[in-house]
């Protein structure tokens, strides 16, 4: 039982919060990115890839869009913009 567990456990929530600021911001930021990743995968099936950005970190087919978004935030691949 020495599997490498990933998902919400990895990356650590405390380190994610340091990059974003608050729990609320993390949830909103990650959920928006997860929706974009979902749209990308949907577009893959339809054959139109030009309007969407796929995962910015290494991921497998088994990874959920929210987990991918959390890994992107942790890796510093995404930048949060202030509302105008």
Buried b (16+ CB within 10 A) or exposed e, 55-83: bbeebeeebebbbbbbbbbbeeebeeeee
> Which of 5-14, 18-27, 54-63, 64-73 is the least confident region?
5-14
Strands (E) located in the chain? none
Residue 1 reports pLDDT greater than 50: no
Q: What is the pLDDT of residues 29-60, one digit of tens each?
A: 999 999 999 998 888 877 776 778 888 898 88
CB distance 20 to 29 below 8 Å: yes
- Map out the domains of the chain as residue ranges: 13-75
* Percentage with pLDDT > 90 across the chain: 36
Whole-angstrom distance, CA of residue 54 vs CA of residue 51: 10
């Amino acid at each position: 039982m020495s599997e490498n567990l990933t998902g919400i456990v990895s990356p650590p929530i405390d380190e994610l919060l340091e990059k974003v600021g608050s729990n609320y911001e993390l949830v909103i930021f990650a959920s928006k990115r997860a929706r974009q990743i979902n749209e990308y995968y949907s577009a893959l099936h339809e054959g139109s890839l030009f309007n969407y950005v796929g995962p910015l970190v290494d991921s497998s087919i088994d990874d959920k869009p929210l987990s991918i978004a959390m890994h992107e935030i942790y890796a510093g691949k995404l930048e949060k913009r202030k509302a105008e």
